[in-house]
Structure 1
Amino acid sequence: MIVITGISCKTETTKNNTATPITKEINASETSLKNALTLYASFDNGVHADFALGDSLLYSVPNRKARDSAQIGLHKPGIRISEGAGRYGDALLFTEDSKGNIYYPSKNNIAYNTKNWEGAVSFWLSLDPATDLDPGYCDPIQITDVSYNDASIWVDFTKENPRDFRLGVIGDRTSWNPTPEGPDNENPIFNKQLIPVSNPPFAKGTWTHILINYTGLNTDQGKAALYMNGELKGIRKDIKDPFTWDVEKSNIYLGLGYIGLMDELSIYNKHLSQEEITTLYTLEKGIHDLLD
Structure 2
Amino acid sequence: MHRRLFHTSTILFILFISTLLYSCKQKEKTEEVETVDTTTAILKKALTFYASFDTSVDADFALGDGRMYTVPNRQARDSAKVGLHKPDIQRADGKGKYDAGLVFTKRSPGYIYYSSEKNIVYNTENWSASISFWLRLDPATDLEPGYCDPIQITDVGYNDAGIWVDFTKENPRDFRLGVIGDRDVWNPNPEGPDNENPIFNARLTGVKNPPFSRDSWTHVLINLSGLNTENGEASLYLNGEHQGTRSHIDTPFTWDYPLSNIYLGLGYIGLMDELSIFNRALTETEIKALNSLDKGVQTLLE
Instruction: Work out whether the TM-score is over 0.5.
Output: yes
- Asked if 1:267 is matched to 2:267, the reply is no
| Equivalent residue, structure 2, for 1:63 | 73
1:77 Cα shift? 2.4
1:82 Cα shift? 1.7
Q: Is the 8 A contact 1:130 1:161 kept in 2?
A: yes
| Equivalent residue, structure 1, for 2:10 | none
Distance 1:106 1:39 in 2: 10
- Asked if 1:98 is matched to 2:125, the reply is no
Distance 2:55 2:283 in 1: 30
1:49 Cα shift? 0.5
Distance 1:44 1:93 in 2: 13
Alignment of 1:1-292 (within 5 A): 25=34, 27-292=37-302
Distance 1:45 1:33 in 2: 23
Q: Percent identity?
A: 66
How many residues are aligned here? 270
Distance 1:243 1:27 in 2: 35
| Equivalent residue, structure 2, for 1:10 | none
Distance 1:291 1:144 in 2: 28
Relative to its length, the structure with more helix (as a share) is 2
Distance 2:43 2:76 in 1: 35
Larger Rg: 2
Distance 1:109 1:261 in 2: 23
Distance 1:30 1:179 in 2: 47
Provide runs of 4+ in structure 1 moved above 3 Å: 23-26
Instruction: Render the CA deviation track for 1:71-108: whole Å, top value 9, x for unaligned.
Output: 00011120001211111111100001111000000000
Q: Does the residue aligned with 1:146 lie in a helix, a strand or coil?
A: coil
Q: Is the 8 A contact 1:121 1:267 kept in 2?
A: yes
Relative to its length, the structure with more strand (as a share) is 1
Distance 2:72 2:157 in 1: 16
1:54 Cα shift? 0.2
